[in-house]
Amino acid sequence: MKFRNDLLFIIGLAVFFLPFFVFHDVFDSYYRFNLEHGLVMSFIKFALLATLGEVIGLRIKTGRYHEKRFGLFPRAIVWGFLGITIYMAFSIFATGTPQFLLKLGLNDADTLLHADLSWKKVLVSFSVSTALNLFYAPVMMTFHKITDLHIREKGGTLRNCY
């Protein structure tokens, strides 16, 4: 039975993602919409993909894709909101960290992310990633854990959670 559920899950994923690879117009529309509506797409992508990751994690942990009090839709809403904050954080840290590196004496730090590959570009990239993970990630993960606990405590339904 588990193998059958896993097979159906994999087939469902393939059917969902296949049009993006097979039909060039579908991918182009997705790409264009992503460029024009970054915040909306961040919400949608995180709501879908991060929640999918949680469902896969539940499958690995319990052997099932769903359980009582899991709260699939409340989790998707939380992940969508977190997707917006992650989009914002990347914008803030990708511009703020190079400015800080300029103050530390790394010339052209603000233009290196758009330049050809070099050790300085790698340094700026790692600096952005480090700053993001040190200052934003703990807050985001704490908020995520609190919302997970709240969703479970309230029975996993939209009506009880919000």
Q: Domain boundaries in the chain?
A: 1-36, 38-161
Digit-coded pLDDT (tens) for 67-95: 988 999 999 999 999 999 999 999 999 99
* pLDDT tops 90 at residue 159: no
The Cα–Cα gap between 130 and 109 comes to 15
- Report in angstroms the alpha-carbon separations of 108 from 23, 49, 78, 90: 41, 36, 38, 20
pLDDT grade for 150, boundaries at 50, 70 and 90: very high
Nearest partner of 150 among 160, 141, 140, judged by Cα: 160
The pLDDT value given to residue 2: 73
What's the gap between Cα 120 and its chain centre? 27
| Averaged pLDDT for residues 46-51 | 97
- % residues pLDDT > 70 (the chain): 99
Nearest partner of 79 among 50, 40, 39, judged by Cα: 50
* pLDDT tops 90 at residue 157: no
The Cα–Cα gap between 45 and 69 comes to 23
Question: What pTM did the predictor assign?
Answer: 0.86
Q: What tokens does 8 get?
A: 């159906």
Digit-coded pLDDT (tens) for 19-45: 999 999 999 999 999 999 999 999 999
To the nearest 10°, report the CA torsion of 133, 138, 141, 143: -140
The pLDDT value given to residue 4: 87
